[in-house]
């Protein structure tokens, strides 16, 4: 028993060294300095602390505690305690809040905060608007090819950001599919639409990327909503509109809000899409942090900005868990078989066809990516793919595509292995609820989810640059950063499977004379294999597509595919764009192959997040 509990020490140490320590380094860097005036920071902190504490007390009243409530309390306590400590330390004058004062007093950075919030808001509204009809389609209708279409609708979410960005360039860029088609048809010399480097393309890309979150969460919930509730409303005299307004919508609201919060959080911390499609005038907090780190070398400002962003992100995650908990207790859900029925009428069929076409149209950036990668001059050829192999400009950054792909694949494999080991141990520990403090540990191990990739990269950069942990020259630094992003997915996919596994199985095996090791290999592993496969594929894909952290940490010899694509894109010339398209296509295919596997082996309906 004790030995089993001790095994958690490994992952805890991993988390402490590779997550908490870099996080500490960010704090240290942003708060170090001489004693200064407190300025606007104090006001902000005090203003934030009061409602937080009030909320905490209100929350405390609830007598029974679900793990999720413990989780949110833990997340909640952290900022309150932190606020108190910071205020105390500020009074004594041990640390400086200079960087924060600089940021909060600078209209450029205030503008970045404001811009990040409102672009995420608009993106989220668009995401929900697109996601809800599709969620309705999947929840309430059975039709041939539904499972395939469901899998297809998830494709954008699992695509690396750089591939999504490249897809939008391929579709809507100056030489994109839409523009070249319009030029051909109307005999124009210049591209008629210019929406790269506009807000519109950022909104579209975010909606493209995140709408499947809304689809997944809302449709699962909607499909299990008891249809008798709507029928009762009809029997009580409510028409379609009133039934939706007073019964269906209020019941779906927790699911809609929690999916919207997730979509908002992703749009809020969006990096690759904004960097590639937006250009410098549309920098989000994430892009601003990157520029402060990589271009301006103002590390203390970067740290302060990162901390401001983290406060926002954890606030969103808190709201998310609250609404998830709310969704769980309030609604009576029934098995899906009861609720789905194939109603047929002409207008309905037309509507269904429209939504199905819409889902397929959502994939157009990915089709465009293929089409553009294969088109050169007037026709189609593999020119862009073959040109990847020649270093015409003699660039120092040039790496053979074979090396790049090999780098990506081996880093992803290493990421997968480490994430599986860490994730499996943690999941085993958390799956036994009698372990005291499991709720707090769950929250602790989920913390990396709330830290954006750029911030992670930045933290690594300033934490692991001196002995005994100087990892700058090692490829391990990339892999470790990737594992921190990937292992929460492994935990999330394993936990439902583990919790559903009866303890008696292990006990029965033990009674029959199997050692714990034998039990694991003969009982646990076969039962968990599907969930493990899902987690493994996720970890692999996360590493394959990881962009933000890699961009800050990578060395030329360890260039991965997303980085290579970005470098190609930042060099001028149509040939470079062609090569970027070709490389993106290869990356897309590798990731897509992994996810064909996930859809086939997905563990019931626990979703990917």
Partner 1 sequence: MPILEVSNISKSFSDGYAVEGVSMTADSGEIVGLLGPSGCGKTTLLRLVAGLEHPDSGSISFDGVPLNGLAPKDRGFGLMFQDLALFPHMDVVGNVSFGLRMQKLPKPEVRARVDELLALVDLAGYGHRKMHELSGGERQRVALARSLAPEPKLLMFDEPFGSLDRGLRESLQMEVRAILKKIGMTSIYVTHDRDEAFAMSDSIVIMDKGAVVQAGTAQELFKSPKSELVARSLGLKNVMMGTVSAIGEIATPIGVLHVGGAELSIAVGSRVLVLIDDRKISVADVAGAGSPPDGAFTGVVEGVNFHGGESDLMARIAEGMIACSIRPEDAGSQFGAGDEVYVTIPANAVRLVPFGG
Given the rule CB under 8 A, which residues bind partner 1? Answer: 226, 228-229, 231-239, 242, 246-247, 250-251, 329-332, 334, 342
Give the shortest CB-353-to-partner 1 separation in angstroms.
21
- C-beta of 87 vs 334, nearer to partner 1: 334
Q: Which residues pair with 466 in a beta bridge?
A: 469
Decide: helix, strand or coil at residue 379. strand
The answer to whether 175 touches 183, Cβ cutoff 8 Å, is no
> Locate tokens 């003969």: which residue?
522
Give the shortest CB-68-to-partner 1 separation in angstroms.
17
The answer to whether 463 touches 469, Cβ cutoff 8 Å, is yes
Q: Give CA–CA dist 505/512, Å, rounded.
A: 11
Give the shortest CB-234-to-partner 1 separation in angstroms.
4
- C-beta of 225 vs 310, nearer to partner 1: 225
Closest CA to 255 of 218, 300, 298, 293: 218
Q: Give CA–CA dist 373/371, Å, rounded.
A: 6
Q: What angle do CA 539, 545, 546 make, to 5 degrees?
A: 85
Give the shortest CB-344-to-partner 1 separation in angstroms.
11
- C-beta of 246 vs 406, nearer to partner 1: 246
> Locate tokens 């300095």: which residue?
33
Give the shortest CB-332-to-partner 1 separation in angstroms.
6
Give the shortest CB-561-to-partner 1 separation in angstroms.
47
- C-beta of 342 vs 513, nearer to partner 1: 342
Give the shortest CB-244-to-partner 1 separation in angstroms.
13
- Per DSSP bridges, beta strands 375-376 and 379-380 are antiparallel
- C-beta of 231 vs 392, nearer to partner 1: 231
> Positive or negative CA dihedral for 140, 144, 147, 152?
negative
Distances (CA, A) of 154 to 199, 388, 389, 593: 24, 30, 32, 13
The answer to whether 303 touches 561, Cβ cutoff 8 Å, is no
- C-beta of 288 vs 331, nearer to partner 1: 331
Q: Give CA–CA dist 570/272, Å, rounded.
A: 13
Give the shortest CB-318-to-partner 1 separation in angstroms.
22
Q: Give CA–CA dist 443/310, Å, rounded.
A: 15
- C-beta of 339 vs 585, nearer to partner 1: 339
- Tell me 547's DSSP state: -
- C-beta of 50 vs 328, nearer to partner 1: 328
Q: Give CA–CA dist 176/158, Å, rounded.
A: 23
CB neighbours (10 Å) of residue 220? 18
- C-beta of 342 vs 394, nearer to partner 1: 342
- C-beta of 344 vs 434, nearer to partner 1: 344
Decide: helix, strand or coil at residue 66. coil
Supply the angle between the helices 453-463 and 21-31 in degrees, to the nearest 10.
80
Give the shortest CB-276-to-partner 1 separation in angstroms.
43
Give the shortest CB-352-to-partner 1 separation in angstroms.
18
- C-beta of 43 vs 231, nearer to partner 1: 231
Give the shortest CB-240-to-partner 1 separation in angstroms.
9
Closest CA to 162 of 593, 596, 567: 567
Q: Which residues pair with 225 in a beta bridge?
A: 333
Q: Give CA–CA dist 519/522, Å, rounded.
A: 5
The answer to whether 226 touches 343, Cβ cutoff 8 Å, is no
């Amino acid at each position: 028993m004790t030995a089993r509990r001790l095994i958690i020490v490994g992952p805890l140490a991993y988390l402490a060294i590779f997550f908490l320590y870099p996080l500490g380094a960010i704090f240290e860097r942003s708060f170090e300095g001489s004693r200064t005036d407190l300025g606007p920071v104090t006001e902000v902190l005090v203003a934030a602390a009061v409602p937080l504490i009030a909320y905490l007390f209100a929350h405390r009243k609830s007598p029974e505690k679900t793990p999720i409530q413990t989780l949110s309390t833990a997340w909640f306590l952290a900022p309150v305690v932190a606020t108190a400590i910071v205020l105390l330390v500020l009074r004594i004058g041990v640390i400086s809040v200079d960087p924060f004062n600089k940021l909060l007093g600078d209209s450029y950075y205030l503008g970045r905060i404001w811009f990040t919030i409102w672009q995420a808001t608009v993106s989220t509204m668009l995401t929900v608007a697109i996601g809800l009809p599709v969620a309705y389609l999947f929840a309430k209708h059975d039709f041939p090819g539904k499972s395939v279409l469901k899998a297809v609708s998830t494709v954008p979410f699992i695509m690396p950001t750089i591939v999504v960005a490249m897809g939008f360039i391929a579709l809507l860029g100056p030489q994109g599919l839409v523009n070249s088609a319009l030029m051909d048809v109307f005999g124009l010399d210049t591209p008629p639409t210019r929406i790269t480097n506009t807000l519109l393309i950022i909104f579209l890309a975010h909606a493209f990327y995140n709408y499947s979150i809304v689809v997944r969460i809302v449709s699962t919930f909607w499909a299990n909503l008891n249809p008798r509730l709507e029928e009762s409303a009809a029997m009580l005299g409510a028409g379609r509109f009133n039934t939706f307004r007073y019964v269906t919508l209020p019941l779906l609201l927790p699911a809609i809000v929690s999916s919207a919060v997730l979509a908002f959080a992703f749009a809020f911390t969006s990096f690759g899409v904004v960097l590639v499609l937006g250009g410098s005038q549309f920098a989000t907090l994430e892009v601003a942090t990157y520029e402060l780190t990589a271009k301006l070398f103002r590390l203390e400002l970067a740290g302060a900005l990162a901390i401001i962003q983290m406060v926002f992100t954890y606030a969103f995650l808190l709201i998310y868990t609250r609404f998830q908990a709310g969704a769980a207790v309030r609604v009576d859900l029934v098995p899906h078989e009861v609720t789905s029925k194939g109603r047929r009428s002409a207008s309905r069929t037309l509507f269904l066809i429209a939504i199905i076409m819409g889902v397929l149209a959502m994939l157009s950036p990915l089709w465009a990516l293929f089409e553009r990668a294969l088109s050169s001059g007037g026709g189609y050829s593999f020119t862009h793919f073959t040109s990847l192999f020649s270093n015409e400009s003699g660039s120092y950054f040039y790496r053979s595509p074979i090396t790049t792909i090999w780098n990506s694949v081996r880093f992803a494999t290493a990421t997968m292995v480490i994430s599986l080991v860490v994730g499996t141990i943690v999941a085993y520990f958390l799956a036994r609820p009698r372990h005291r403090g499991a709720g707090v540990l769950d929250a602790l191990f989920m913390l990396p989810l709330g830290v954006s990739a750029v911030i992670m990269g930045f933290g690594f950069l300033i934490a692991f640059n001196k002995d005994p942990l100087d990892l700058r020259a090692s490829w391990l630094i990339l892999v470790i950063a990737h594992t921190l992003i990937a292992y929460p997915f492994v935990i999330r996919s394993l936990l439902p499977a583990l919790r559903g596994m009866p303890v008696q199985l292990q006990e029965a095996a033990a009674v029959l004379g199997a050692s714990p090791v034998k039990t694991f290999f003969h009982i646990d592993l076969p039962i968990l294999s599907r969930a493990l496969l899902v987690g493994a594929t996720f970890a692999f894909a996360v590493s394959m597509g990881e962009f933000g952290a890699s961009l800050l940490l990578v060395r030329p010899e360890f260039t991965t595919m997303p980085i290579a694509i970005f470098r190609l894109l930042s060099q001028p010339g149509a040939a470079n764009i062609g090569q970027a398209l070709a490389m993106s296509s290869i990356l897309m295919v590798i990731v897509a192959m992994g996810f064909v596997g996930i859809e086939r082996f997905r563990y019931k309906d626990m979703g990917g997040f």
